[in-house]
Amino acid sequence: MAPPRFDWITFDCYGTLIDWERGISDAFTAQAGRKGRTVDRSSVLDVYHAVEPVVEAETYRRYREVLGFAAEQVVERLGWTVPPEGTGFLAESLPSWPPFSDTNPALARLAGGGVKLGILSNVDDDLLAGTRATSTTSCRARRSAFRWRGSIGNGNPSDQRVRPIGNSAI
Active site residues: 12
- What is the C-alpha separation between 20 and 92, in angstroms, rounded? 13
- What is the C-alpha separation between 164 and 67, in angstroms, rounded? 30
* Residue 16 buriedness (CB in 10 A; 0-12 / 13-18 / 19+): middle
Residues 12 and 131: beta-carbon distance below 8 Å:
no
Over residues 32-79, the pLDDT tens digits come to 888 888 899 999 999 999 999 999 999 888 899 999 999 999 989 998
All residues at 6 or more sequence positions from 112 whose CB lies less than 8 Å from its CB, including other chains: none
pTM of the model: 0.80
Spell out the domains of the chain, with CATH numbers in brackets. Answer: 8-17+99-169 (3.40.50.1000), 20-96 (1.10.150.750)
